[in-house]
Chains A and B, each alone.
Chain A
Amino acid sequence: MHELSLIASVFDVLEEKAHEHGAARVTAVVLKVGVMSGAVPGLLESAFETYKKGTIAGTAQLEIVVVPVKLRCPDCGGEAVREDTDFSCAGCGSRRVEIVEGRELVVERIELET
């Protein structure tokens, strides 16, 4: 629901980095989006396409890398990707698992033209 405001934050980062590197244009943006981040990749894409017009990233391509939930178990030391929302350890069944990946919402890298 708030993907447009997230994309506005992406553009803050793009402007800052373009300025820092003396770049005229941003040509590609890679976002990492966790499945538990609360943001929807399709909506981020639409928001990006709308937002980019007339900006330094007007022709930029957006790539979204979807990050699945990865759990780490402090009891058996196992790490596993979990597809459903039953957040227990696939190895030993422990419920004390931590989510180590899958909540990120990150500008991973960008491509600049200088």
Chain B
Amino acid sequence: MTTKTITVVRDLLATNKQAASAIRAGLRARGILCVNLLSSPGSGKTTLLEALAERFRGRFRMAVIEGDIETERDAERIRAKGVPAWQITTGGACHLEARMIGKVLGDVPGDIDLLFIENVGNLVCPASYDLGEDIRLVLLSAPEGDDKPAKYPQAFLSADALVLTKTDLLPYLPFDPARAAAEALSVKPGLKVFSVSALRGDGIDGLAGYLVEALERLRSARA
């Protein structure tokens, strides 16, 4: 009996990363911008998507993949806006993985402009899983507190843009948007920051414009 040591150096997320790369390449080839939304539960991901659906109506076609532990509720809300939506129920899993997206992707129409993936509400685990998106948005709502970026750095570090949500509640809360933005920028320099109230429609134009610019960049890189 002999014992030997072998150097392996295998990334545990390699399988997910490969699946994500294939999804990204496939969507880019079809000229579709993919956006992954990350946040705690209840910070306004679905409401933001409803507001974006209103804004893009008649101009850009979007579709949504919803991730939740249980229920079809979020997909139903999106469909009520006339936007095709698929619900992935993870049955307890704390994040979406690329292979789950891959299974749904065949049903997503090829003539859309933007594909949104609403991750499971969780500011921790989804940060580690690439879903093949071009843009990752992290949402932070005013009631959650402005001290979250340094407490949950992976989510902010992995994001392209921060969306401060529920700004209509700012008069009633000690939340300081400048402090939240500064803290997020210390974790992730260069992070784009948007402030929105999806219920009132404040700030939605700015965010929609950012996404449309990214879509145009993706399509001109393809051409």
Contact = CB atoms under 8 A, between A and B. Distances in A.
Interface of A: 1-2, 5-6, 9-10, 13, 17, 21, 27-28, 36-39, 85-88, 95-97, 99, 104-114
A106 B128 CA distance: 13
18 contacts: A1-B94, A2-B128, A5-B93, A17-B6, A21-B4, A37-B154, A38-B154, A85-B153, A86-B187, A87-B157, A97-B189, A105-B13, A107-B9, A109-B8, A110-B6, A111-B6, A112-B4, A114-B1
Given A9-B13, A39-B128, A108-B8, 19 more contacts: A1-B94, A1-B122, A1-B125, A2-B128, A9-B15, A10-B12, A17-B8, A36-B157, A37-B128, A38-B128, A85-B149, A85-B186, A87-B186, A87-B187, A99-B157, A106-B11, A109-B6, A111-B5, A114-B4
Interface string B123-165: 0110110000000000000000000011001100100000000
Contacts of B150: 85
Contacts of B15: 9
A105 B11 CA distance: 6
B59 interface: no
A83 B122 CA distance: 24
B158 to A, nearest CB: 9
A36 B125 CA distance: 11
Contacts of A97: 189
Given A2-B94, A17-B8, A85 B189 contact: no
List 3 tightest A-B contacts by C-beta distance, closest first: A95-B189, A38-B128, A1-B94
Contact of B3 (A10, A95, A106, A111): A111
Contact of B5 (A85, A99, A107, A110): A110
Interface string B1-42: 111111111111101000000000000000000000000000
